[in-house]
Homo-oligomer: A and B are copies of this chain.
Amino acid sequence: MSELKDRPYHHGDLRRTLIDTALAMLAADQNWTFTLREVARRAGVSHAAPYKHFRDRDVLLCELARIGFARLAQVMTTATSSPEFSPRRKFLEGAQACIDFALRNPGLYRLMFSSDADKTADPALHAAAMSAFGLLLGVLEDGQKTGCFRPAPIGAQAAAGWAQVHGLALLALNGQLLEEKVGAEPVRGALDVLLDGLCLGN
């Protein structure tokens, strides 16, 4: 590779480099069969060096997932931040943003929702995941208050929205939304179907 051999013995910020390298690998690989040794190799560092920064592989995975949720929350926030959007529009934009994120970061998205990243073990990861969920709840509450959404139990609506978006993302990721089975714009179409169930007056 292009790694200079004259790198000083101490890397400087290996922790960050490892994270960045792993994120790059996740971005490049649809596969996401991500080995710690490979990360070390690409970072130009010995195979055991990562253990000075992460107790074991799962800790690194958790950290990556946490970063993923933070990024996801950010893109969803910006997608839904426009104040003149109707709740319906906000829901749509947020959902699309989430699914786009999944398609742009397939490996990372899979990791975030895989059971490998044990959310119960890492409070920071759990919090990051919850912040994305909080955005959804906010949109729903807002929509109910303004009379745009039906006054159904908000938990049910949240479960429906979350499941729908997550399900669409995974199906899209796996290439299972083929046009001959599901039409030309399945994501948009499916979200419209769900929104008909969320919204009043149609």
Name the contact of A156 in the complex, choosing from B153, B171, B193 (C-beta under 8 A).
B193
Pick out which of these stretches binds chain B: A42-50, A59-67, A80-88, A158-166. Answer: A158-166
Contacts of A197 in B (CB 8 A): 193-198
| Identical copies of this chain, number | 2
Q: Which of A160-202 contact B (CB under 8 A)?
A: 160, 162-168, 170-171, 173-177, 181-198
Contacts of A160 in B (CB 8 A): 164, 189-191, 193-194
- A193 & B30 in contact (Cβ 8 Å cutoff): no
- B186 & A156 in contact (Cβ 8 Å cutoff): yes
Closest B residue, CB atoms, query A126: B176
- B194 & A193 in contact (Cβ 8 Å cutoff): yes
What distance in Å separates the Cβ of A129 from its nearest Cβ neighbour in chain B? Answer: 8
Contacts of A198 in B (CB 8 A): 193, 196-197
**What 1/0 flags go to A130-160 for Cβ under 8 Å of B?**
1001000000000000000010111111111
Name the contact of A174 in the complex, choosing from B30, B115, B184 (C-beta under 8 A).
B115
Contacts of A193 in B (CB 8 A): 152, 156-157, 160, 194, 197-198
Is residue A113 contacting chain B, with contact meaning CB distance below 8 A?
A: yes
Contacts of A192 in B (CB 8 A): 152, 156
Q: How far is the CA of A21 from the CA of B144 in the complex (A)?
A: 51
A171 touching B159 in the complex, CB below 8 Å, given contacts A194-B194, A195-B197, A198-B197 = yes
Closest B residue, CB atoms, query A180: B155
